[in-house]
Chains A and B, each alone.
Chain A
């Protein structure tokens, strides 16, 4: 038992302490967080935009109002959702890196664009379900005061929708964080790449991979706690 413990300690030192590998791990953590947070930002903005286009198009259709611009926009959004949700994010990343942005050396931008655009598709459908969950009387009340469609969406519908979809959005953020573990295929040094490198140097698999698994786990736990906190704060505003 004590022998096993001693070898574990040796593994630990070799994996994290030797050659100051913990510094590289921290750097990798920075990469993971940077890609996740920037992608999140793009994903949410894109998702809300697409959701509003889709929801307002559906509303206009229900009222038998034909609008060529909205129909065209809606078709573009639908195509976007189909393509992005229909292909693996790994393949999208490779296409972005080797085809679309082949001339760029900025891998952070490549990764952030890929994950942002990918996440946006999922966020869009989540936000759309939230918008549709709000009673039609809310839109009518806003419009009857003289607010225009966008003002009513922004001040009245979206805040209520976000509250309803927060658990689903939290799920999407967690998925995004974990999905970034594939960025090493375009040569980015995130924490997964760090573990692969350490294994290559030390021939130890257990410590580096279990180590980063724990790092991901802790990040996800913190993220879900934050989402929970936000959820409770928003709920509090209604009694």
Chain B
């Protein structure tokens, strides 16, 4: 981990206005350093997914700023597509493209955006697939894979763009219990290789073991942050103590 701040979030606010107004994010400020694994925990509806989705503007914040690599990406003049290339994202429901093979899923963006040749993109994809043990499924379609395999493919699909940070939005929540391990193993490998990661998860074991820092959110606010040791062994905020009592 270096001291370089990769993402700096300040006073982030997201208000969903409809029939009822929901303050999903209410002034969240946080910093993510290069090479750091930040795990975001909190009860459901606490705004942790919204926080993550605001980092690459899948959700447009209604207030505050997100500074990525020195650029305020909430500025409408910024080309967000260029910045998203450097921010990989993994979703709860995988979101693989069902009409493409695994290989095509992985090579589409590098070929269109990084202008790699087909051979180049496929070679890179195969190397990554080998790393997650799925090289033999390269020409299969997503519907032919298990949930755990799909999520591993989704992770390496993002890696094909050689991102500077990976965002994980509850990557194991939609998986059968016996498949959670294989996905977490891939994520641990990534962390070991020094990838900057922001992970929203309910896997407290992962947070404790792999996280460099843990953020606890509730009601759209960042209530406590610290090392896993501090968060899990010496929680201070009553909401966090209450939350840990329920999930541990």
Closest to B140 in A: A239
> B33 within 8 Å of A by Cβ?
no
- What residues of chain A lie closer than 8 Å to B112, measured between beta carbons? 147, 151, 155
- A113 to B158, alpha carbons, bound, how many Å? 45
Closest to B113 in A: A146
Given A146-B161, A155-B112, A160 and B141 contact (CB-CB distance below 8 Å)? no
0/1 per residue, A201-239, Cβ < 8 Å to B?
000000000000000000000000000000000100111
Query: Is there an interface contact between A238 and B91, defined as CB atoms closer than 8 Å?
Result: no
Known interface pairs A141-B96, A160-B99; 20 further A-B residue pairs with C-beta atoms within 8 A, sorted by A's residue number: A140-B95, A141-B91, A141-B97, A143-B58, A143-B81, A143-B84, A144-B91, A144-B158, A145-B85, A145-B113, A145-B157, A146-B109, A146-B161, A147-B109, A148-B81, A155-B112, A159-B99, A160-B97, A163-B99, A234-B99
- A107 to B134, alpha carbons, bound, how many Å? 59
30 cross-chain CB contacts under 8 A: A63-B60, A135-B95, A137-B91, A137-B95, A138-B97, A140-B58, A140-B89, A141-B89, A141-B91, A141-B95, A141-B97, A143-B84, A144-B56, A144-B58, A144-B87, A144-B91, A144-B158, A145-B88, A146-B84, A146-B109, A146-B161, A147-B109, A148-B81, A155-B108, A156-B97, A159-B99, A160-B98, A234-B99, A238-B99, A238-B141
- What residues of chain B lie closer than 8 Å to A147, measured between beta carbons? 81, 108-109, 112-113
0/1 per residue, A109-142, Cβ < 8 Å to B?
0000000000000000000000000010110111
Count of chain A to chain B residue pairs whose CB atoms are closer than 8 Å in the complex: 75
Q: Is the interface of A mostly helix, strand, loop or mixed?
A: helix
Min Cβ gap B144→A in Å is: 6
The 10 closest A-B pairs by CB, nearest first: A146-B85, A141-B95, A144-B89, A145-B109, A137-B95, A146-B84, A148-B81, A239-B143, A238-B143, A146-B81
Query: Is there an interface contact between A144 and B88, defined as CB atoms closer than 8 Å?
Result: yes
Query: Is there an interface contact between A145 and B97, defined as CB atoms closer than 8 Å?
Result: no
Of residues 76 to 100 in B, which have CB atoms within 8 Å of A's CB atoms?
81-82, 84-89, 91, 93, 95-99
- A137 to B158, alpha carbons, bound, how many Å? 15
- What residues of chain A lie closer than 8 Å to B91, measured between beta carbons? 137, 140-141, 144
Min Cβ gap B58→A in Å is: 6
- A234 to B84, alpha carbons, bound, how many Å? 31
Min Cβ gap A160→B in Å is: 5
Min Cβ gap A79→B in Å is: 29
- A142 to B89, alpha carbons, bound, how many Å? 10
- What residues of chain B lie closer than 8 Å to A140, measured between beta carbons? 58, 89, 91, 95
- What residues of chain A lie closer than 8 Å to B56, measured between beta carbons? 144
> B233 within 8 Å of A by Cβ?
no
- A155 to B108, alpha carbons, bound, how many Å? 9
- A145 to B17, alpha carbons, bound, how many Å? 28
- A65 to B91, alpha carbons, bound, how many Å? 24
- What residues of chain B lie closer than 8 Å to A142, measured between beta carbons? 97
Q: Which of A63, A141, A156 has the most CB of B within 10 A?
A: A141
- A234 to B100, alpha carbons, bound, how many Å? 11
- What residues of chain A lie closer than 8 Å to B82, measured between beta carbons? 146
- A239 to B141, alpha carbons, bound, how many Å? 7
Closest to B91 in A: A137
- What residues of chain A lie closer than 8 Å to B58, measured between beta carbons? 140, 143-144
- A64 to B58, alpha carbons, bound, how many Å? 14
- A234 to B96, alpha carbons, bound, how many Å? 17
Min Cβ gap A14→B in Å is: 54
- What residues of chain A lie closer than 8 Å to B161, measured between beta carbons? 145-146
Min Cβ gap A230→B in Å is: 14
Of residues 103 to 117 in B, which have CB atoms within 8 Å of A's CB atoms?
108-109, 112-113
- What residues of chain B lie closer than 8 Å to A160, measured between beta carbons? 97-99
- A141 to B85, alpha carbons, bound, how many Å? 12
- A148 to B109, alpha carbons, bound, how many Å? 10
- What residues of chain A lie closer than 8 Å to B88, measured between beta carbons? 144-145
- A135 to B84, alpha carbons, bound, how many Å? 20
- A239 to B137, alpha carbons, bound, how many Å? 13
Q: Which of A144, A148, A237 has the most CB of B within 10 A?
A: A144
Query: Is there an interface contact between A145 and B141, defined as CB atoms closer than 8 Å?
Result: no
- A64 to B60, alpha carbons, bound, how many Å? 10
Closest to B167 in A: A144
- A160 to B205, alpha carbons, bound, how many Å? 38
- What residues of chain B lie closer than 8 Å to A137, measured between beta carbons? 91, 93, 95
Query: Is there an interface contact between B95 and A145, defined as CB atoms closer than 8 Å?
Result: no
- A63 to B113, alpha carbons, bound, how many Å? 26
